[in-house]
Amino acid sequence: MKKIQVGIIGFGTVGSGLAEVLYSQKERLLKRTGVDICLAKVADINLSALPEQFSGVSLVRDGAELIQDPDIDIIVETIGGIEPAKSLVMAAIRAGKHVVTANKALLSQEGRDIFAAAAENQVEVGFEASVGGGIPVIKSLREGLVANRILSIMGIMNGTANYILTRMTEEGVPFDEVLKDAQEQGFAEADPTYDVEGIDTAHKLAILMCMAYGTNITHNEIATEGISQIEPLDIELAREFGCRIKLLAISRNHGDHVEARVHPTMVPESHLLASVSGAYNAIHFTGDTVGNVLLYGLGAGMIPTGSAVAADVVDIARNIQAGSIGRVPPLAYLPEEITSRRVTPMDELFGPYYFRFTVRDEPGVLSTISGILGRHGISLESVVQKGCREDHVVPLVMLTHTAKESAVAAALEEIAELESVVAPVVKIRLLEEE
């Protein structure tokens, strides 16, 4: 029986999740592939021993040792970040090893170099776990939706941010309090910046856009806003308007240009994405032949993510066995067909908005603000003023019809200058009806 040897560099949550899945599913994988997929070596600088069930696996400190080992067929990089991950991945590819990675930061920034090197060296690069944790989103997009022009991508792609927003919604507690609690319980990273500021979501959207549209895009080109400024009052008001606030990645394919953004969004409660709670992720595609597709599941966690990494390892093992390396292009398009596309500047986009102004409860304030919005061509759908506080400062909330982003920015700048406006204006985009 053919034996495929795997080496894991980085034995943290994802690396150990893969080891566990390969171990617990060994017989099933054998029955499904006819290949003995075997974990041979692990490299980790922080570890002195592996768990007992991996007693036959050698542990070393230096990832380069795995790359130089002629018996290892597949290198799994699960250390994360850009360096040393990129150097190790490039060295593995140049050494003729197939690579599997869950590293969305690396792929969304350095993917071009990595995929070019992989094509040159005729090795495979698997990255199923880089988006949506355990959800098989990459393979669905690459293979299941191959006969589609993808028209849009929309989703909740960060479990930490979704968990925080869910608890803020259900318990009415502020962002900082939920984040602290999530960190204490081990749900959120010690440095949660990438998760809560939308950067991790932008990494994932960039990867999906490359594959969906056959275009080069890096996460830096995606307008990104996080959830750290969201207040319980906005969540409560959203509920009154029949909406939930979610951190969404949104992209639309306009042909010669593509839209790409990550920001908190008010989603109508009737929309499927509104009911995606806690650490779950959901990714929605619209294809011109299939219509709407929604993929839902756990976006993080050791074993679900291990399931996705194992799927890549199995794919590669099968391709080695069948002599069909490179049969499916990793980014879903032939490399020579991948082109650059203009990313639509945010200023050019249209949509409905929620504004919350904190104003002095004085005559004429409402008409001054609505007058400014009107002069910028922004039409109001509804206006709500909440009860008067002792200091005569009140929240004034407005929902708009579809407006242009640049007009909104100009109007809000003008409104922020008013003496009667006493706190920064809150702006949240509403999900547009398709």
Residues catalogued as catalytic = 204
SS3 2: coil
Cβ nearer to ligand HSE, comparing 133 with 395: 133
CA 378 to each of CA 144, 148, 259, 349, 411: distance values in angstroms, whole numbers, following the listed order: 42, 36, 22, 14, 9
Task: Indicate the residue among 280 and 355 with the shorter CB distance to ligand HSE.
Answer: 280
Positions that interact with ligand HSE (CB under 6 A):
133, 158-160, 195, 200, 299-300
| Residue (87 or 193) nearer to ligand HSE, CB | 193
Distance from C-alpha of 200 to C-alpha of 221, rounded to nearest angstrom:
14
CB of 160 to ligand HSE, least distance (A): 3
Neighbours of 180 (CB within 10 A): 12
DSSP at 192: -
Q: What are phi and psi of 269, to 5 degrees?
A: -60, -25
CB 308 within 8 A of CB 102: yes
Burial class (CB in 10 A: 0-12, 13-18, 19+), 184: exposed
Where helices occur in 264-384 by DSSP H, the ranges are 302-322, 365-375
Q: Are 148 and 287 in contact (CB under 8 A)?
A: yes
Distance, in Å, from the CA atom of 380 to the CA atom of 398, rounded to the nearest integer, reads 7
The span from the CA of 50 to the CA of 43, in Å, is 10
Is the CB of 78 or the CB of 160 nearer to ligand HSE?
160
Whole-angstrom Cα distance, residue 82 to residue 94?
18
DSSP class of residue 191 equals S
Give CA angle at 88 (86, 93), nearest 5°.
95
Shortest distance (Å) from residue 20 CB to ligand HSE: 17
Q: Which is nearer to ligand HSE, 19 or 135 (CB)?
A: 135
> Minimal distance in Å, beta carbon 304 to ligand HSE?
10
Nearer to ligand HSE, 200 or 312 (CB): 200
Q: Report residue 45 as tokens.
A: 């600088």
Task: Kindly give the pairing relationship between strand 380-385 and strand 393-400.
Answer: antiparallel
Smallest separation (angstroms) from ligand HSE to the CB of 210? 17
**d(C-alpha 160, C-alpha 188), whole Å:** 6
Minimum CB distance to ligand HSE smaller for 180 or for 342: 180
Q: How far is the CB of 1 from ligand HSE (least distance, A)?
A: 34
- In this structure, what token pair is assigned to residue 118? 């992989």
Q: How far is the CB of 200 from ligand HSE (least distance, A)?
A: 5
**C-beta separation of 81 from 108 below 8 A:** no
Report the distance separating Cα 280 and Cα 420, nearest Å.
Answer: 42
- Residue number, 157 or 359, with CB nearest to ligand HSE: 157
Largest pairwise CA distance in the chain: 84
